[in-house]
Structure 1
Amino acid sequence: MEKGIKKNEALLWLGSWTSRFGNIVFDYANSISIVSFFAGKPIVLALYQSSETIIQIIFNLVGGVKADNGNRKRLVIITDILAGLICFVLSFFINSGRMAMVVIAANALLALVYAFNSPTYKSLVREMIYKDRIGFYNSIAHAGSEIIGITGPILSVGLVAVIGTRGALLFDAVTFFVSALLECCLVRVVETPSKVKGSQNVITDIIEGIKYLLSERQIFFLVILSALVNFFLAGYNLLLPYTDVMYKGIFDNFYSKALAMEAAGGILGSLVISKAADRFKDNVYIMILFLSGTGIAMLAEPIIAPLQNMYLCLIPFALFGIALTSFNIILMSHVQVSVDENFLGRVFSIIFTVAVLFMPVGSFSFSSFVDAKSVGSFAIVGGGIVILSLFSLIMLKVIGSRKCSD
């Protein structure tokens, strides 16, 4: 792998990080406004939050089709400009009588834009980054995203306090416009094969994408694996806030510390895996090894808990962050390198759609049969992931043997 940072890598990093920070400020500013003006109507905040998920489920697959049939660079530029315009227009409705309706509509529109932007952006990496540097690119991108995820909410508080909600939304608009400007400077660095023209029928193109996925056994297996992982991650995310209850009277504010340790683990995992991601991106067994690491970390939490040592109890969350980040980076890099260029957007859109669908399924399932106040419940999450990992290794053997027989 060549050393040094390439121009396209820097542009893509800055563009994605700028948009990420803008999204955090957008959500914070709008949530604060809704809570302030509709304190007695939590349904308004619920509609605001749920509109995003519903839109993504409906339009992610359409976004994948457009990513495969159109000019990906132009599409990400247009979607970022549209996101900036939405924030700009929304800023004029703050404190107005129609604020609730407009904020919900704006959030839904941004979710629609994101449904087209996200699979396209992930697919664009294939055109702008050399194959032997995609793992490195994804690692640094993830590390930066984690850092922004930690600092973004804190900076958002200060930003809204200084320039107000309207000023924060105008700031959001600028972040999206900056992203679009950076993307204009991207230059394709690899020769890409001629695209197979789509059928001009979105449904037909989605079906073609699904057929392609079913024909690629290993990629299809990884999509199913990521969906099942999200089921257990939903259980983890459900239990994590309850750690304050689990350790009540033993540790103070354990939840916030666990979040910080997980994020620190994610950053560390991104930086460590950046040195090896390009060697591992074709090794599915290494990917599953990291996945099993997340399960082992959660199995360790109930074992360590009786020691009542806060630092020891936090270690599994850091290890969880390291392992999960490594798994995600290798999975993303493997898909970007292995999938046919003509189906890359649709494969990513299927992955995102399945992930969105499985998260609420996991949340409701775990809430119904798991004791959220018991630290032992983490063993169910961890045990499920370990069993999933072992089953995945068996399935890989089966897929491999079928390939040989074919």
Structure 2
Amino acid sequence: MKLNERELANTVKLVTSNSISKLGDILFDYVNSVWLSKLGNGSFWMAVYQSSETIVSVFVNFIGGILSDTKQRKSIIWICDIIAGLLCIALAVFVPSIWLLYAIIAVNIALSVLSSIRDPAYKAVFGEIVRKEQIGRVNSLLESCKQTIKVAGPVLAMVIAKFFGSKMALLLDGLTFIISGLLIRQLDILFETEPPVAKQSNFSKIKDAFKYLLAEKNILIVIVFASVINFILAGYELILPFASFAFSKNAYAFFLTAESVGGLLGAVASNLIRKELSSKYLFWIIAVAGLPLAVMSLLYQVSHWLFGPIICITLFNFCVSVFNIQFMTYIQTNADMTYIGRVFSIVFTAAIIFVPLGSFFFQFVMDVKDSVDYLWLGGLLTFVAGLASVIYSLNQRRAE
């Protein structure tokens, strides 16, 4: 079944908006990271810059989920984008150099607040602009553009900053947010979701979301599984920059390219899946993803040729890309639209908490320069996926 005319128009606007916004994110982070790195105490301010957005997101995500389920989702998204754009333009135009450091930190925190309010509504709005059976296709298109921009974005950001300067780069960044917001404002809502009539406290609304997940065991199992996978993937992200020590001199550069290729191919392949995958298949995607990661160290030790590990990284990211798309699609198509914003706020908060924990845990237990780490991480992914599949099957039998 194809997208109809109105769905196609919505998809084009959504994908274009997302692509422009992602480019703006890369531009903002690149310009600010380069500027902060040149300061005398640059590493400290970089840590403040990066950690502040994480801390803020933990507290604001739930507010975003509540607003998404009680207000117009489209309005939340485009208003947040416009405000973000104006903040970036103000940072470029009105802030004197003497206050720039503190202004960058403050604006980054403000953008994190806006993102935490916006993101649950953004993921939830899919069910209002296309039919449920088309959500997977939209997610695949978004991921394809994301992977493309992930490759081209840093190069473009570097060129813009070098030839036009940081101020102009921030101005362009502000414009990307505003254009993104204006595109979202033009979305044609096809399926209205009625907000709840009964008035409740914010705490009660969050409590209701957790009660909903406890009642919907299949969705809960998938969310817990994805959180544990994020914990393990944090270990992968931790050791990857040290690949040049674990393998050969230029391994990290080759692996980054392999990541992008695998992610893009995964997004394209996911678009070919014409029906929604069940929870069971989500588990097996990760089980398969762990296999190439587990064997890449052995391949290199036997052959001392980097081609094998490059293929393994490509296959691994292919599977992870398919999983991410199908996971989002599963939540978007199975969660009740009354709770979906709060469900996504729980998903995002869990990811924010588990990823730093995973980084610190694996930094403590692994030698990041040892290629054997990839074997342990791959085996762990496959084991966790198998365990989740067993738990899911037992839950299905109880339900029957």
- TM-score tier, shorter chain, comes to over 0.9
Q: Give CA-to-partner distance per residue, 1:29-69, whole Å, 9 cap, x none.
A: 11112222x13342111111111101111111111111000
Q: Tell me the residue number matched to 1:379.
A: 375
The amino acid of 2:75's aligned partner reads R
Secondary structure, counterpart of 2:228 in structure 1: helix
- Corresponding letter in the other structure for 2:37: V
Are 1:388 and 2:384 matched, yes or no? yes
Q: Which moved more, 1:194-203 or 1:366-375?
A: 194-203
Between the two proteins, the alignment pairs up a number of residues equal to: 397
1:201-249 per-position Cα deviation (integer Å, ceiling 9, x unaligned): 22221111111111110011111001100110001011111111112xx
Amino acid at match of 1:374: D
- Partner residue, 1:132: 133
Q: How does 1:177-256 map to 2 (within 5 A)?
A: 177-190=178-191, 192-197=192-197, 199-247=199-247, 251-256=248-253
Letter in 2 for 1:316: C
Q: CA RMSD in A?
A: 1.4
1:13-41, CA deviations, whole angstroms, 9 ceiling, x for partnerless residues? 011111111000000111112222x1334
2:280 equivalent to 1:285: yes
Partner amino acid, structure 1, of 2:20: T
Q: Which amino acid aligns with 1:305?
A: Y
CA distance in 1, matches of 2:198, 2:292: 45
In 2 relative to 1, CA 220–98 (structure 1 residues): closer, same or farther, beyond 3 Å? same
User: Which letter does structure 2 place at the counterpart of 1:338?
Assistant: N
- AA of the residue aligned to 1:217: K
**Superposition TM-score, scaled by structure 1 size:** 0.95
Greater CA drift, 284-293 or 209-218: 284-293
Which residue type is aligned with residue 113 of structure 2? L
1:22 aligns with 2:24: yes
Which residue identity does 1:254 align to in structure 2?
A
Q: Does 1:318 align with 2:314?
A: yes
**Cα shift readout 1:258-279 (whole Å, capped 9, x = no counterpart):** 0110110010010011010x41
Corresponding residue number in structure 2 for 1:275: 272
Which consecutive aligned stretches of 4+ in structure 1 deviate over 6 angstroms post-superposition?
none
The answer to whether the 8 A contact 1:160-1:168 is kept is yes
2:113 and 2:218 mapped to 1: Cα distance?
Answer: 30
Aligned counterparts of 1:21 and 1:198: Cα–Cα separation in 2: 40
Q: For residues 201 and 75 of structure 1, what CA distance do their matches in structure 2 show? A: 20
Note the C-alpha offset of 1:92.
2.7
Equivalent pair of 1:69/1:197 in contact (CA under 8 Å):
no
* In structure 1, C-alpha distance between the alignment counterparts of 2:213 and 2:393, rounded to whole Å: 19
Question: What SS does the corresponding residue of 1:341 show, helix, strand or coil?
Answer: coil
CA distance 1:194–1:293, shift in 2 (3 Å): same
AA in 2 matched with 1:403:
A
1:402 aligns with 2:398: yes
1:33 corresponds to 2:29: no
**1:93–1:102 Cα contact (<8 Å) kept:** no
Tell which deviates more after alignment, 1-10 or 376-385.
1-10
CA distance in 2, matches of 1:200, 1:166: 45
Instruction: Indicate whether 1:260 and 2:261 are aligned.
Output: no
2-structure distance, mates of 1:379, 1:95: 51
Give the whole-Å Cα distance in 2 for the aligned partners of 1:57 and 1:122. Answer: 17
Aligned partner letter, 1:119: P
Instruction: Specify the code of the residue in structure 2 equivalent to 1:186.
Output: L
Report the CA distance between 1:195 and its aligned residue. Answer: 2.7
**C-alpha distance in structure 2 between counterparts of 1:151 and 1:400, whole Å:** 44
The counterpart of 2:339, out of the listed 333, 338, 343, is 343
Offset of residue 199 of structure 1 = 3.2
Kept in 1, the 8 Å contact 2:26–2:153? The answer is: yes
Paired letter, 1:220: L
Which secondary structure state, in structure 1, belongs to the residue aligned with residue 154 of structure 2? helix
CA–CA distance in structure 2, aligned partners of residues 349 and 299 of structure 1: 32
Q: What is residue 70 of structure 1 aligned with on the other side?
A: 71
CA contact (8 A) 2:213 2:220 kept: yes
Residues 128-178 of structure 1: CA deviation (Å, up to 9, x unaligned): 111111111101100100110111111000000121100001001110111
1:161 paired residue number: 162
Q: CA deviation at 1:193?
A: 4.7
CA distance, structure 2, for counterparts of residue 107 and residue 61 of structure 1: 19
Match of 1:108 in 2: 109
Q: Is the 8 A contact 1:94 1:165 kept in 2?
A: no
CA contact (8 A) 1:91 1:167 kept: yes
The 2-side partners of 1:383 and 1:94 are apart by: 51
Cα distance, 1:167–1:200 mapped onto 2, change above 3 Å: farther
Other structure's SS at 2:125 match: helix
Q: Which amino acid aligns with 2:292?
A: A
Aligned to 2:300: 305
Unaligned runs of 5+ in 1: none
